C-alpha cells in the first residue's frame, strides 16, 4: 500500500518536483487536498525553526504524518541575506520579480557573487521529528537568464554549470538543487525504514 504523507505546501512547482522524485512510491498530498486553507505560521528566524513550525501545525490540527520545508537564498556579500526572509525580501507580496530586482540592486558593483540555496525539511512521522538538509553553491548573475522554474532561479547559476537554474530542465535542476538534495535525504530515510 502506498504511504500517505502530507507535504505542507500548496506550491504547484514544489509538488511537481517532489512527486517526480518520490517515484510514485508515496502518495504526496498537498494542504489543499486535506482541506487546509489557512495560512500556516512561519515566524521563526531560522529555516529549521520554520520547517518544524509548519510540520507541527499540520500534525496538531490534522493529525497527519507530514513534512514541511523552508528554503533560503544566502548571499555571502549580503551577510547571508535574504536567507530566511527570501520569500518576502522586497515586501509582503511574495513578488519574485521585485525580490530579484532588490538583490540585483544590492549586488550592483559587487564582485563577490557567491551564494547558496539551503533547504531544510522537517518530517513528523510516528510521533518523531526528523530534519534533512540540502544545499547548492553558486553565484548571483548580473542579470536575469531563462524562464523556467520560479523564485530566484533566473539570477542563480549553480557551481560547475554554464546555465542559470531558470535555463535548466526540471530534471537537471532536481539532480543538483538544494531541495533535490534535501528531498533525496528524506526519501532515503523513508525507504530505509
Q: Does 53 bind ligand IMP (CB under 6 A)?
A: no
**171 catalytic, yes or no?**
no
Which region, judged by CB under 6 A, interacts with ligand IMP, from 22-30, 107-115, 125-133, 145-153? 145-153
Distance CA 8, CA 34 (A): 10
Assigned C-alpha cell, 146: 531563462
Applying the rule CB under 6 A, the residues between 1 and 30 that interact with ligand IMP are none
Among 22, 67, 70, 118, binds ligand IMP (CB under 6 A): 70
Catalytic residue among 45, 65, 70, 95: 70
The 10 Å Cβ neighbour count of residue 91 is 10
Which residues, listed in sequence order, are joined to residue 129 by a DSSP beta bridge? 124
Q: Is position 152 an interface residue for ligand IMP (rule: CB under 6 A)? A: yes
- Classified as helix, coil or strand, 27 is strand
CA–CA separation, 61 and 57 (whole Å) = 6
Q: Which residues bind ligand IMP (CB under 6 A)?
A: 69-71, 73, 86-87, 96, 99, 149-153, 165, 177, 179
Amino acid at each position: 500500500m502506498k504511504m500517505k504523507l502530507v507535504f505542507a505546501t500548496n506550491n504547484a512547482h514544489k509538488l511537481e518536483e517532489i512527486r517526480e522524485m518520490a517515484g510514485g512510491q508515496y502518495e504526496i498530498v498537498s494542504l489543499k487536498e486535506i482541506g487546509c486553507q489557512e495560512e500556516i505560521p512561519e515566524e521563526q528566524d531560522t529555516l529549521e525553526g520554520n520547517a518544524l513550525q509548519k510540520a507541527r501545525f499540520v500534525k496538531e490540527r490534522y493529525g497527519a504524518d507530514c513534512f514541511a520545508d523552508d528554503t533560503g537564498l544566502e548571499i555571502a556579500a549580503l551577510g547571508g541575506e535574504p536567507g530566511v526572509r527570501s520569500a518576502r525580501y522586497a515586501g509582503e507580496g511574495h513578488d519574485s520579480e521585485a525580490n530579484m530586482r532588490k538583490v540585483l540592486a544590492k549586488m550592483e558593483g559587487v564582485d563577490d557573487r557567491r551564494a547558496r540555496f539551503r533547504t531544510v525539511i522537517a518530517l513528523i512521522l510516528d510521533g518523531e521529528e526528523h530534519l534533512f538538509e540540502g544545499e547548492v553553491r553558486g553565484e548571483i548573475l548580473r542579470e536575469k537568464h531563462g524562464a523556467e522554474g520560479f523564485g530566484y532561479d533566473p539570477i542563480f547559476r549553480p557551481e560547475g554549470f554554464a546555465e542559470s537554474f531558470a535555463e535548466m530542465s526540471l530534471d537537471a535542476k532536481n539532480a543538483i538543487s538544494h531541495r533535490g538534495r534535501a528531498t533525496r535525504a528524506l526519501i532515503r530515510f523513508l525507504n530505509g525504514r
